[in-house]
Each structure stands twice: as C-alpha cells, then as structure tokens.
Chains A and B, each alone.
Chain A
Amino acid sequence: MISSRNPLRDRVAFAGAATTGFVAANTGRSQASLAAEACIKVLRECGLTAADVDGICGSAPSAPHVQAMLGIPEVTWFANPMIPFVNHVAAAVSAVASGLCETVLAYHAAYRLPWNTGSAWKDPFRRQDGAGPRPLNRAPDSFAGSVGYTAWASRYLHEFRPPPETLGYVAVNDRSNAAANPAAAMRAPLTMADYLASRYVRWPLRLLDMDVAVDGADAFVITTAERARDLPNPPVLVDAVALGMTDKNDEDQAPDLDHHGQQVTIRALRAKSGFWIDDCDVYFPYDGFSIITLNWIENAGWCGRGEAGDFLKQHWDAASNRVLIDGRIPINPHGGSLSEGGTQGSGHVREAVHQLQGLAGERQVAGAERAIVTAGGFFFNAQGVTLHRG
C-alpha cells in the first residue's frame, strides 16, 4: 500500500552539509575522529554550538558516543539507523517534523572495515570489527551482502543482453565528475578502454563497477524550515522521503528485477513528491555497484527497462566525458560511490544539498532548484529523497 500522505513536506530543511573528504586508504584515525571532524565543521558553518543541538542521528560511532565526544549537553531524540544514509535522513526529518526535537546533527563516517575491503585486515584495530553479519551459508557460498548485486547483474545481462560498455558509462561518468571534486578519493581520468580492461572481481562485475572503500565522513544539520531560514546558508527543503522494501528481501529470493525495493521507493516518492524527473536539475542514483545505477535510472522513468545503457550513451557529453541528460542534468556530479568514495549515500545527499545551496564550487549546476536522490540497492535498502531550494 502506498500512501500519498506527506505532512512533512517543506516543514524540514537541511541548514548545512560538510565533509572531511575521502581517501582510499586506512588512515591512522578512528571512525569517531572522522565523524567528529565533519560534525564540528558543519556546526561551525551553520553558526551553531553544541548547545543548539537537541537531536543526534548516525550509525557508527553511535549517537551516545558522538554526544559524549562533542559535549552536546542535552538531546531529546537520537537514533542509530542502518545504512544507507537516506535511512538517517528519514529518521531525522521525521523527528524534526513531529517535534521530537528541533535541530538534528546527522552524520555518516565511511570507514574501511573488513566488510567492505579486505585491506582493512591489515589494521589490527579494524580487524576487531569482524566481517559483518553472518548469513546461513558460510562465505563464499552465499549471496548475502554485496555479492547479491553481482548475482542480479547476471540476470540483467541475461535478460537484456546489453553491449559490454553499458556498465562502463556509470564508472566513466563518476570518474569524470570526481575530477572537479577535491573531496573525492579517485580523480585520475578514466576512459572506457580502461574500464573494459579492468579485471573481474566477481563476474559479471569488474573492479571499476564496485565502490571504493574509503575513510572520511559527512555531517548535516537538519532543522525546521523556519530555523533554517535564520541560519547563514540557504536552506534546502525536504519535499518527500521514502524507504521502499518488499517481503522477498533476501538477496537470492527477490522474485525478479521488477519487484524489489526500488519500484516501491519510486512509487512512494511519486505519490508524495511535488515534482519528478521532468522538473529535476540534478540526479543522484546510487552507484555502490554500477548495476544499481542502471536499474534506478530505468525505474525512475528516465527510460524503459533494459534501456539505461542506450540512455546514457544518447545523453553522453563527449566534451566533458560524462552524462548530461538533455545537455543539462548531471548524474552524481560529485563522483558518486565509484569515485568520490563508498559513502553509503551520504555523499549523494551532501552534494544534493550543496548543489541546491549554490555551494558546489566548480561542479555547480547553474540555477539548480530541485534534486532527486535514489539511494541504496534492491533488497532491504532502496530509498529516496526529493529536495528543493528553500
């Protein structure tokens, strides 16, 4: 059942967003230290002190850890949602809209750990974190976790038989965009030939189809629209949020490519939102794996099923070696998960906020007023948020 109720629309705003920037290496820092840096940066940019915060929202470190670390005297609400980051956006926006608190400090510290990169085992402190949740079958005999996306990539290729460059457009677009983002981990130019020559990690996906594990953090101030208007930076209003999920959400049990969380997310956003792709100035389809991006583009309605590769080719801007839909709308202008770094969606939300604030530097989309973020994958983590300039 999809409800079109949306009492939160335009009542909650992002007042600011900040990042530490990202590196594809084990820094000698803790996840908490990265989160602290981003949190302090965003509060200072908003002209706020610790005492102005009455809500905290993030995954790791926990909200209590962050409160103690930053000396935030009192909060009336906090949450530790699971990634990706639109979960955090949904929780924080709901808390502000309902009055559980007024000003949320939301953060996400991307951190290289055994679940996202084998290289994390080299750091004994990170090794303690283990390999993540334990599925029924022991690895490597399970599609649980990231391998599940590769499995459905095989299905996509089987059903639509696209040319080999198809997934490569996502990787090259991200890298070309990252060149203009000083926060990005991977900025060296990438050609389609480079993509096609990159090694398979899990066939049919190559190394360059997979997000890059990074150290770095993003942080946000989410508050009432009224309060945001009194703060130094332009407010970005939340139009609609949706976390879409179906009952068959185990990686190997989804019925097919047309019945998973993405379709639910899109239907919910379209029912609740005041605008859709015809009025969108910048689009953020998740790209933790390139196959996810193709499916978001199709499910959002930019083109038909199986046509995302043709769509990206058709809207390719040869001069900038990236996608500009109708010559104007970039996709993941910050470089996305594949090139800025695997931020589990916080980078996409941060860049959307900066674009709508007019603070995106040399990546700025002229006159950007509306953004759509469709984050997460297929199973238990498809989600989206629509934002517009206040």
Chain B
Amino acid sequence: MISDEELLDRFAGYGVDHDTAAHLRGRLARQLLINRCAECGHWHHPPRPVCPQCWSTRVTAEPVAGTGTIDLTVFLHQGPPATGVDYSTPYPLVAVELDEQPGLRFTATVAGADNDDVRIGRRVRLDWIERDDVPVPVWRLEEGA
C-alpha cells in the first residue's frame, strides 16, 4: 500500500483526506470502492467517517459491481483545463445510480460514446482510463439499453 504522502502526490487536485484515502487507493488498483456500513449494510457516497443511517463507525470502502443507470447528464461546452479533455466536443458528465442501492450515485464522464446516445435512463458499466498517471473511472454505455 502506498504511503499517504505518495497518495497525496498521485492525486494532486483531488479531495484527499483520511475519509477519502481508501476510495482513492482503490482507484490505483482500478477498483471502484464505495463506503459501506459493516453493521447495517447501508452504502453512502462521497466517503464519510460514519454511517449516516446508523452512526456506526465501522464503515469500509468495498467494491461495487460497477453497473447502473444514468440519472443526470451534463455536457460541458467549456471547463477547466484537463489532460486529454477537448471541449470542442462537449464533455459528458453523468451521475449514475449504482445497482447496489436506490439513490446511491457515482459521477464520472462517459467514454467512447456519441453524445447523442448519452441520455437519462441508459444503462452503463464502469471502465477505467489513465489521466496524469492515475486511473480515472469512466462509464461506458451498455449496448442497446
């Protein structure tokens, strides 16, 4: 496991702290880890130090299936500079309801899709790309869904 110092260095510009470190370490292994309560099983995101449902501190970052449905969509026609992001084709950003729990969402871009096909209700699955030497989670549209 890499040190906290190295984690901070790798994820420059991200919100890195004691509550998000496990999630970000998961990304280095291309695993999407979401906080789950060991006592009541409730998932939550973004990572918090206690379960908002039962107040247990036994919260651990656990892998999710990486499948879900698009709930919210934005296409950025402009935005902050980012490696490999060219806003001349509007950059899609979507909040996806994960299959693990109603209302549990994870936000990321959609890779490899025609923007016209990126719509609320579409099924997606998780994939990873590399940006500035760290894996970045992205969504890919499921065929015909």
Contacts and interface: CB of A to CB of B under 8 A. Distances in A.
Contact of A155 (B20, B52, B71): B71
Interface string A214-250: 0000000000000000000000000000000001101
A155 B80 contact: no
A203 B14 contact: no
A140 B90 contact: no
Interface of A: 131, 134-143, 147, 150-152, 154-155, 158, 199-204, 247-248, 250, 252-253, 255
A131 B11 CA distance: 17
The list of the 10 closest CB pairs from A to B, nearest first, reads A203-B75, A151-B72, A252-B95, A138-B13, A140-B79, A136-B15, A158-B120, A134-B15, A139-B80, A154-B73
Given A136-B46, A203-B77, A143 B72 contact: yes
A253 B103 contact: yes
23 contacts: A134-B15, A135-B46, A137-B14, A137-B15, A137-B107, A139-B13, A139-B79, A140-B79, A140-B82, A140-B93, A141-B93, A142-B93, A147-B74, A151-B93, A151-B95, A154-B72, A154-B120, A155-B71, A202-B74, A202-B77, A248-B103, A250-B46, A252-B106
Interface in B109-128: 109, 120
Given A155-B120, A247-B52, A140 B72 contact: no
B68 interface: no
B85 A140 contact: yes
Given A154-B120, A253-B103, A255-B103, A140 B71 contact: no
A140 B76 CA distance: 8
Interface in B20-78: 20, 23, 45-47, 52, 71-78
A64 B10 CA distance: 38
Contact of A143 (B23, B74, B77): B74
Nearest to B104: A253
B77 A138 contact: no
Residues of B contacting A: mostly: loop
Contact of B107 (A143, A155, A248, A255): A143
A247 B42 CA distance: 15
B14 A134 contact: yes
Contact of B13 (A134, A150, A248): A134
B108 A141 contact: yes
A166 B55 CA distance: 43
Contacts of B14: 134, 136-138
B90 A200 contact: yes
Contacts of A151: 72-74, 93, 95
A237 B76 CA distance: 43
B93 A147 contact: yes
Contacts of B15: 134-137
A202 B76 contact: yes
Contacts of A199: 77
A336 B17 CA distance: 38
A151 B94 CA distance: 8
A135 B108 CA distance: 13
Nearest to A206: B77
A221 B52 CA distance: 40
Identify the interface centre among B52, B74, B103, B108: most chain A CB within 10 Å of its CB: B74
A150 B72 CA distance: 9
B20 to A, nearest CB: 5
A132 to B, nearest CB: 11
Contacts of A136: 14-15, 20, 23, 46-47
